[in-house]
Structure 1
Amino acid sequence: MPPISEPLRKLGFLTIGLFDPAEPRRGHESTLEIIELGERLGFDSAWVRHRHLQYGISSPVALLAAASQRTSRIQLGTAVIPLGWENPLRLAEDLATVDILSGGRLNPGVSVGPPMHFAKVQEALYPGTADAEDFSYERVRRLLDFVRGAPATDFSGVEGFEVFSDRVQPQSAGLGSRMWYGGASLRSAEWAGAHGMNFLTSSVVKAEKSEDFGEIQLSHIRTFRAHHPDGDRARVSQGLVVIPTDSASPEQRAKYEEYARTRLPRTAQPQGPARMMFAPDLVGPSAEIAEKLYADAAFREVDEVAFALPFTFDHDDYVQILTDISTVLGPALGWRPGS
């Protein structure tokens, strides 16, 4: 295997949390059970993906509030909340509340840009004001300011029997240092670093100066750290779709391999007007996956990951995949489970 400078320090996973619209509680409960399992297996973090007007988790902050009461150690993250759907002041209140409930374990990941299919949803989301909404990095800056304690108003004090604060309440110490930006471009990497955020890089990047996925991702990591006050110590988490098959049944292995096969063509060249590049899914025995990861220059640049669970698999599949990651793949990457 090619050498790696540091053993993997933090191991996490990401789930989308799908559900049957006729029985939505079952899917949400399954997601909570997977997070509980992740804690028992020693994972350092569990991340939830955001979905609006789909049959996936539309309110990850609410779901993580529930998860915070069913776990005690595992870090809980969002990867990511698209801020085009959010009011930064209200979101800051929700994030701080859940962080306090969790005992300081929340890791909010966010991104910017107009909401998906904005032309179709703008009248429901921003009736009469859609043209005035700012979907730029300024929306992230406002959220960061509120989370980090900047004034939200010039009024504070006592009015009648009520006491008012000029800052978002509650304030949760440390939350500001656990804010993540999910970026796929050099500009996002630079902005996140300059504003002291942590950086989430996933299996999707924008082909700007190269069409080699690993080369692009490595450039994002280095650009982020070059602009971050902490330099090479700035936190980066890499997220790839990783599916070990060590304990999988023959039927599961066949399903996993077919899933990866159908998604492989999109990795050959940039996709769409935005020229998005996708990383191939990694499927196979943990020893083979570890060798591929060690050969990945971007992986060798980080010491924490959040491997993505495939969207459409069954609960039992996730149990098998997470168990293999924690007991076989993680140790092969130098990781030791938390307790």
Structure 2
Amino acid sequence: MKRFGFLSFGHYSLKPDKTGKYGAQEALNQAVELGQIADELGVNGAYFRVHHFAPQYSSPIPLLSAIAATTNTIEVGTGVIDMRYENPLGLAEEVAALDLLSDQRIAIGVSRGSPETALRGWEAFGYGGPELAREDPKGAALAAEKFDTFLAALRGDGMATAAPFEQQYPQMFRSGTQLPVLPHSPGADRRIWWGAATHASAELAARKGVNLMSSTLVFETNGSSLGDVQAEQIARYRREWEKAGHDWEPRVSVSRPIFPIVDGSDAQIFGPAGSGESHDSIGVLDDQRGIFGRTLVDTPDKIVEALKNDKAVMAADTLMLTIPNQAGVAVNARILENFAQHVAPELGWEPATRG
């Protein structure tokens, strides 16, 4: 583990009090503030979940832009954007612009997405329809097609044909020329991650030439721990990457809920040391049985020991700490500070630096 960051789900209340407490505006402002504090601590990344039709973050690019504009070294990203809801060319334009404005400090995770509160909510966004719903009820094929288009656009491939010269305004291109979406940020595609909950999805990410964001849950429930299953997923991803012959080194991330207990005030907030879950959780998501990671609430030495024994954490280069964003900035800053001072150095952490 060389890097660590925080992963926020962005929950807020639909009925904030008269001051706006716990509402959407406060959640967004607190995310920016926490990003700034994390940047000062040398934390490597600020990552955000994306969900639609729910009181959580839903339009990440403005939020990431606000954090990038007010920080110096921290990378900003998502975990993950649901491609079923996206216009792939529009997203490619926004991601390229953010990459340029942030001096290439992005880590944009995308995937098919997880279940939503809406029934095929992407149809309300203008994608799909009754016929597609019968053929592709979960939108997996729709997301895959959009992802391919998004990657091609981000890599600068032609996406439209230039009009006859005399019809163009401004007159810039030879008639029939294939036009890329603009702006173009060279290398931005190497800062794209695919969120994978299965071995097959991870192998596909390798073939497509993007980084791997191993999901907060995995579906290969064979009795092994989450860390062991993810470690196998990471190994398969790297083998497939080598077979594909890509000419650069990819990144891999995993996420864990971790609360270091350094003193009595931490214990009052998070519970006494050792009060976390002793085993991974088993649950059903999207009609599939999956493994969720356990929550670590313990002293730094015990957390270091647990993470060193977590094969996936040690195989990945980036660890995302899932945080309770509704707990407020001070509480979440304390989690990051405790982890940066007492845990991360024992795991090989390299604080963020410019360039």
- TM-score between the two structures when normalised by the length of structure 2: 0.84
- Stretches of structure 2 that go unaligned for 5 or more consecutive residues are 133-138
Which range moves more in the overlay, 205-214 or 241-250?
205-214
Q: RMSD of the TM alignment (CA)?
A: 2.7
Q: Secondary structure at the match of 2:156?
A: coil
| 1:252 maps to amino acid | I
After superposition, residues 23-172 of structure 1 pair within 5 angstroms as: 23=20, 24-112=24-112, 116-119=116-119, 121=121, 124-126=124-126, 129=129, 131-132=131-132, 134-155=141-162, 158=165, 159-163=168-172, 166-172=179-185
Query: In 2, are the aligned partners of 1:239 and 1:305 still within 8 Å (CA)?
Result: yes
Deviation for aligned residue 1:17: 2.7
1:288 lines up with 2:281 in the alignment:
no
After superposition, residues 151-230 of structure 1 pair within 5 angstroms as: 151-155=158-162, 158=165, 159-163=168-172, 166-207=179-220, 209-228=222-241, 229=245
Deviation for aligned residue 1:172: 0.6
Deviation for aligned residue 1:248: 5.8
Q: Secondary structure at the match of 2:348?
A: coil
Query: In 2, are the aligned partners of 1:92 and 1:147 still within 8 Å (CA)?
Result: yes
Distance between the aligned counterparts of 1:213 and 1:156, measured in 2?
53
Instruction: Show the counterpart of 1:5.
Output: none
Which range moves more in the overlay, 288-297 or 156-165?
156-165
Structure 1 residues 104-150: Cα deviation after superposition (integer angstroms, max 9, x where no partner)? 11111000158624536355223773533742422211111111111
Instruction: Show the counterpart of 1:327.
Output: 341
1:238 lines up with 2:254 in the alignment:
yes
Distance between the aligned counterparts of 1:73 and 1:179, measured in 2?
18
| 1:109 maps to amino acid | G
Distance 1:182 1:120, change over 3 A: closer
Instruction: Show the counterpart of 1:318.
Output: 332
Instruction: Show the counterpart of 2:269.
Output: 252
| 1:11 maps to amino acid | F
Deviation for aligned residue 1:275: 1.1
Query: In 2, are the aligned partners of 1:156 and 1:163 still within 8 Å (CA)?
Result: no
Q: Which residue, 16, 36, 55 being the options, matches 2:9?
A: 16
Q: Secondary structure at the match of 1:275?
A: strand
Which range moves more in the overlay, 276-285 or 232-241?
232-241
Distance 1:162 1:327, change over 3 A: farther
- Stretches of structure 1 that go unaligned for 5 or more consecutive residues are 1-7
Distance 1:35 1:245, change over 3 A: same
Distance between the aligned counterparts of 1:233 and 1:61, measured in 2?
26
Aligned residues: 328
Q: Secondary structure at the match of 1:308?
A: strand
Distance between the aligned counterparts of 2:297 and 2:248, measured in 1?
31
Deviation for aligned residue 1:312: 4.0
The alignment-based identity, stated in percent, is 27
Distance between the aligned counterparts of 1:216 and 1:125, measured in 2?
35
Distance 1:252 1:181, change over 3 A: same
- TM-score between the two structures when normalised by the length of structure 1: 0.87
| 1:64 maps to amino acid | L
Query: In 2, are the aligned partners of 1:237 and 1:305 still within 8 Å (CA)?
Result: yes
